[in-house]
Amino acid sequence: EAEVAQSPRYKITEKSQAVAFWCDPISGHATLYWYRQILGQGPELLVQFQDESVVDDSQLPKDRFSAERLKGVDSTLKIQPAELGDSAMYLCASSLGLRNEQFFGPGTRLTVL
Amino acid sequence: QQQVKQSPQSLIVQKGGISIINCAYENTAFDYFPWYQQFPGKGPALLIAIRPDVSEKKEGRFTISFNKSAKQFSLHIMDSQPGDSATYFCAAWNSGNTPLVFGKGTRLSVIA
């Protein structure tokens, strides 16, 4: 069964350092999402791609967060510099298109010390 | 502003009992209502979903009940099992136009 792959699964960093997360969506899925899930809360959308184009990044803190999907396949989410409040689970999801069901990866658990 | 309100925050049910989780929404443009199941350390997995043109959808032991006029929907887990212990999220979506909006989650514990 096809799955969304994410790496690393866990990341511990010190504040002010840079971190990067990688996501490989299900093959053929044109739409890719990055979510942030704070402990005890539901996921919140950070950025949404349709192929290589950003569809929605209204909730992405652009002063420190960046995301790219250069070839319209895999994607990278970067935080620079990391802050204590960035500690959370970062989830990637993909779907066939904008109107299709989303499938989530296992997430990257980020801890900022 | 929380667009989807979920309750209860946590729930303890005896094995074999019925687990009921409720959600309410405000945006009448929402037209797709999924429920996700999340185990610790894992991403959410789609469990069951409903569109507002039906009042109920059943898949195995899982049933969604939908009340369009009250803007409420609920998840019922029949014959709850210890393996159902997880966090459940309701969500809502205006297909293609708005991001998927999640409730805050319900932590279900099924005890033997």
Q: Using one digit for the tens of pLDDT, what is the confidence trace for B14-42? A: 999 999 999 999 999 899 999 999 998 88
CB contact under 8 A, A98 and B96: yes
Judge whether A102 is closer than 8 Å to chain B, CB to CB: yes
Is the N-terminal amide bond of A106 cis, ω within 30° of 0? no
CB contact under 8 A, B104 and A42: yes
Q: Using one digit for the tens of pLDDT, what is the confidence trace for B37-66? A: 999 888 999 999 999 999 999 999 999 999
CB contact under 8 A, A44 and B102: yes
The average confidence (pLDDT) of chain B is 93
Q: What CA–CA distance (Å, rounded) separates A111 from A57?
A: 23
Judge whether B45 is closer than 8 Å to chain A, CB to CB: yes
- Locate A110 and state its tokens: 């980020």
Residue window 4-63, chain A: list those with CB within 8 Å of chain B: 4, 40-45, 48, 56
| 10-residue stretch averages of pLDDT, chain A, 113 residues long | 92 97 96 94 94 93 95 95 97 91 94 97
- What's the 3-state SS for A20-86? EEEEECCCCCCEEEEEEECCCCCCEEEEEEECCEEEECCCCCCCCEEEECCCCCCEEEEECCCCHHH
CB contact under 8 A, A93 and B43: yes
Q: For residue B67, what pLDDT is reported? A: 95
Judge whether B73 is closer than 8 Å to chain A, CB to CB: no
Is the N-terminal amide bond of A81 cis, ω within 30° of 0? yes
- Locate A81 and state its tokens: 């510099």
Q: What CA–CA distance (Å, rounded) separates B48 from B61?
A: 11
Q: For residue A98, what pLDDT is reported? A: 82
Pairing of strands A108-112, A10-13: parallel
Radius of gyration, alpha carbons of chain B: 13
Q: What CA–CA distance (Å, rounded) separates B26 from B86?
A: 26
Q: Which candidate, B8, B85, B91, B98, places its Cα nearest to that of A43?
A: B91
CB contact under 8 A, B104 and A99: no
Q: Would you give the DSSP letter of residue B27?
A: -
Q: How far is B7 from chain A (nearest CA, A)?
A: 13
Q: How far is A109 from chain B (nearest CA, A)?
A: 8
Q: Which of A99, A104, A109 sits opposite B45 (nearest CB)?
A: A104
- Locate B78 and state its tokens: 């029949």
Q: What CA–CA distance (Å, rounded) separates A55 from B81?
A: 40
Q: What CA–CA distance (Å, rounded) separates B74 from B6?
A: 9
